[in-house]
Structure 1
């Protein structure tokens, strides 16, 4: 496990969606170890509360707020509550997403499922950014990191709704970066490869093997592989980096 115990994010106040488990939980742990104060947000209330409690046991300032990205009211309430708990916000990680369309061809994919993936992954990213923006403006600027996926870069088959949603997130990142530059808000995207977390447990073994063999660094990808890039983008070292897509996938896709 990587050691992110330096204080490179000291004083930063960060809201992370989809943080009850998996990548989001690792981002919270890494940012907290680097000195940030964290609000974890997720629809998985019980898991989220437990994750926040574990982080507090590690000496991290961590709170949990319930969030349903499919509900505009829930998104606004989450952003306001996070800002209240931390006394403001300096950053947002839009990590919350669903993948439910996995394994279905374009003919098999149901319209309702397509709509739900788009509502959570695309509309939810927009709504969350919009809700946090007033708090970032009060701070004088800040960071937004959108978690995309390298599936949108190589066109993973039988995953159409998810791939399309993450492609939209990448495009939104560039537009948001231009729109929010005047507010000193930088917006970037990270495209992780297939990572060993709970949310990818459904992925067939052959797809994991396909990734493993196709990477320049031929080993499984774990959440800690992505958190270093997150810390860099949240830090002052990246304050002039915006509108960028950073693939973090061991060289499976090269940008």
Structure 2
């Protein structure tokens, strides 16, 4: 059977780009996300184009019981996951901490940290049983540098950085690789979600320079996943040419 990749947040952006790229490389796919219609459409497209098998998990990673139930309900053959891409994540709002929205904070922490943990708990145990595997976590430049009004989002991505390091230590005796990919500015639905559907404000985030796109990050993830068995890329920061740090972007 072909290798299997499980991708969370596969309905758009980096997750969808990863699905396209890994399907092209012959991987069977487990795609998870909140929007069933998008998952079904993507699954049908990739099956037809690349003749790969696709399983779907329609859940929000914040829902612990649903994550566990849906993943454990997969047939045994689907639990031979070679690569887990913990892509599901988001940012909500851009306010100083004293003005922060508590619901926004909960959603970021529950998705970016707890959701990643729920999925990893299940899949890492499959990988231990299988004797191999590779976990690739989507971090951010926000997990390396704190920027104004980024407070809780940055904290959640710093947590992803720490969890990646911790997982790497814990899973070392089992031969499981753990990597982290930390992008700078990537033009996806990310800013639209952060600004709660304000397309104009989201568009301004990327004005005056060429940001990264979802496929740039998917190709980086594929590079990490395709290294020989004896090679692990622990951590990689990927920035647009026009970006030097979290807050330093050269705009024309």
User: What residue is the counterpart of 1:7 in the other structure?
Assistant: none
Distance 1:41 1:191 in 2: 21
User: What residue is the counterpart of 2:97 in the other structure?
Assistant: 106
Q: Which moved more, 1:81-90 or 1:17-26?
A: 81-90
Distance 1:83 1:246 in 2: 34
User: What residue is the counterpart of 1:147 in the other structure?
Assistant: 138
Task: Using structure 1 for the length normalisation, give the TM-score.
Answer: 0.84
1:156 equivalent to 2:147? Answer yes
Give secondary structure in 2 for the equivalent of 1:58: helix
Unaligned stretches of 5+ residues in structure 1: 1-9, 213-218
Structure 1 position 237, deviation (Å): 2.2
Deviation string 1:146-179 (CA, Å, 9 cap, x unpaired) is 0011122232322322111111001110011011
Q: Structure 1 residues 118 and 224 mapped into 2: Cα distance closer, same or farther (>3 Å)?
A: same
Distance 1:205 1:45 in 2: 27
Distance 2:223 2:204 in 1: 33
Q: Is the 8 A contact 1:149 1:193 kept in 2?
A: yes
Structure 1 position 71, deviation (Å): 1.5
Partner residue of 2:83 out of 82, 87, 91: 91
Q: Is the 8 A contact 1:150 1:253 kept in 2?
A: no
Distance 2:29 2:227 in 1: 17
Q: Is the 8 A contact 1:67 1:74 kept in 2?
A: yes
User: What residue is the counterpart of 1:247 in the other structure?
Assistant: 237
Structure 1 position 187, deviation (Å): 0.7
Q: Structure 1 residues 26 and 238 mapped into 2: Cα distance closer, same or farther (>3 Å)?
A: farther
Q: Which moved more, 1:176-185 or 1:74-83?
A: 74-83
Unaligned stretches of 5+ residues in structure 2: 196-200, 246-252
Deviation string 1:226-254 (CA, Å, 9 cap, x unpaired) is 11221122224264315x22111235347
Q: Is the 8 A contact 1:20 1:42 kept in 2?
A: yes
Deviation string 1:210-240 (CA, Å, 9 cap, x unpaired) is 7x3xxxxxx2211111112211222242643
Q: Which moved more, 1:17-26 or 1:45-54?
A: 45-54
Q: Is the 8 A contact 2:145 2:154 kept in 1?
A: no
Partner residue of 2:61 out of 38, 61, 69: 69
User: What residue is the counterpart of 2:250 in the other structure?
Assistant: none
Q: Is the 8 A contact 2:9 2:88 kept in 1?
A: yes
Give secondary structure in 2 for the equivalent of 1:237: coil
Distance 1:12 1:193 in 2: 30
1:151-230 matches, cutoff 5 A: 151-201=142-192, 202=195, 204-209=202-207, 212=209, 219-230=210-221
Indicate the RMSD between aligned Cα atoms, in angstroms: 2.1
Partner residue of 2:17 out of 15, 26, 46: 26
Distance 2:126 2:118 in 1: 14
